[in-house]
Amino acid sequence: MSTIIMSACWDLQGMTPAQKAVLVSLADQANDSGVCWPGIKTIERRTCLSERAVQEALRWLQTTGAVYRDYQPNKTTVYTVTPQNFDPAKAPSKRERNRGADGAPPADSAPPANGAPGAGSAPPPAGGAPLDPQEAHPTPAAGAPKSKGNRKGTIKEPFPPASQPGQQGVDSEKQAKEEAFRELCRETWNAYSAAYALRYKTEPVRNAKVNTAIAQFVKRIGKEAPAVAQWFVASAAEAFILKRFHDVGDLLASCEAYRTQWAVGATPQAQPGNLNKQEALEQRNRRVGEAWASQGGEHAAA
């Protein structure tokens, strides 16, 4: 599961619960590049939807750019989840789905007046002669649209033309930026995790909340994020930071300040307001002892 892809899909709006369920199911099985290849039956089982509902949701997600499907003969269909390409404005209206792209019935579909034969029909044969087989079952004219009678939504029904990720409105530069951002998030997590393991002799917890915090941290700090994250675990020494074992949330909360401290090579020192009672008492005793020693008091330390 790619938590980066999953978190991006959760924020998408403008779709039905069934469409969101199918999208999240695909994101849950996708890698960091958004690629997965579950079967239709698997999606049905995971979403509790019928085959028709799954197919309609996939068709809608593909039309809006959230999912790209790569059809390969005699092979499993490969899906690429692309939440950055999602555009609900591309979704077809209900009328277009029911009546076709132009939304209008055929021009010659009106019934002839007074029961007369249509303008394009041949006159009936004289004397009750049997009809020619070609007249009884006329062949559709070349190029005539075929009926879309398959309303079951099976895999054989034609789908809207697919667009490769990076095409039709999303240029290659944006794709490159998205991939660079994901790579920087991975580098930042690796730097934080390595420093954490070195300091605490255990691996830090990683979940959706942590991944979201890392992504936000990278957005705010940029390319310096890995170095700042490593410095935070190795050098940040405030009492509340130590008490919370250098939590990622604390790094995110003051990331700009930590970036400045990293840049100038500063080492945070524990402030008096953050000391516990024992530390405060020890500092007080030292100050009292130094004062007595400076005055030559009888209780001065040797």
Maximum CA pair distance of the chain? 143
Q: Number of helices (H) and strands (E) in the chain: give both, helices first.
A: 13, 3
Burial of residue 87, with CB atoms counted within 10 A of its CB: 0-12 exposed, 13-18 middle, 19 or more buried:
middle
pLDDT of residue 246: 94
For the entire predicted model, the pTM comes to 0.40
CA distances (Å), 134 to each of 85, 149, 158, 275, in order? 50, 23, 29, 98
- Could you tell me if 83 and 9 are in contact, meaning their C-beta atoms sit under 8 angstroms apart? yes
Burial class (CB in 10 A: 0-12, 13-18, 19+), 275: middle
Report the sign of the C-alpha dihedral through residues 247, 252, 254, 255, in that order: positive
- pLDDT, position 295: 72
β-pairing, 67-70 with 35-36? Answer: unpaired
- Mean pLDDT, consecutive 10-residue segments, the chain of 302 residues? 83 92 92 89 94 94 91 81 90 62 43 48 52 49 49 47 52 82 94 94 92 94 94 91 92 93 72 56 73 64 44
For the chain, the helix, strand and coil percentages under 3-state DSSP, each to the nearest 5: 55, 5, 45
**Nearest by Cα to 203 from 192, 216, 212:** 192
> What pLDDT does 211 receive?
92
Three-class SS of residue 81? strand
- Beta strand ranges found along the chain (DSSP E): 35-36, 67-70, 78-81
| Three-state helix/strand/coil letters over 90-148 | HCCCHHHHHHCCCCCCCCCCCCCHHHCCCCCCCCCCHHHCCCCHHHHCCCCCCCCCCCC
Task: Burial-class residue 65 by CB neighbours within 10 Å (0-12, 13-18, 19+).
Answer: buried
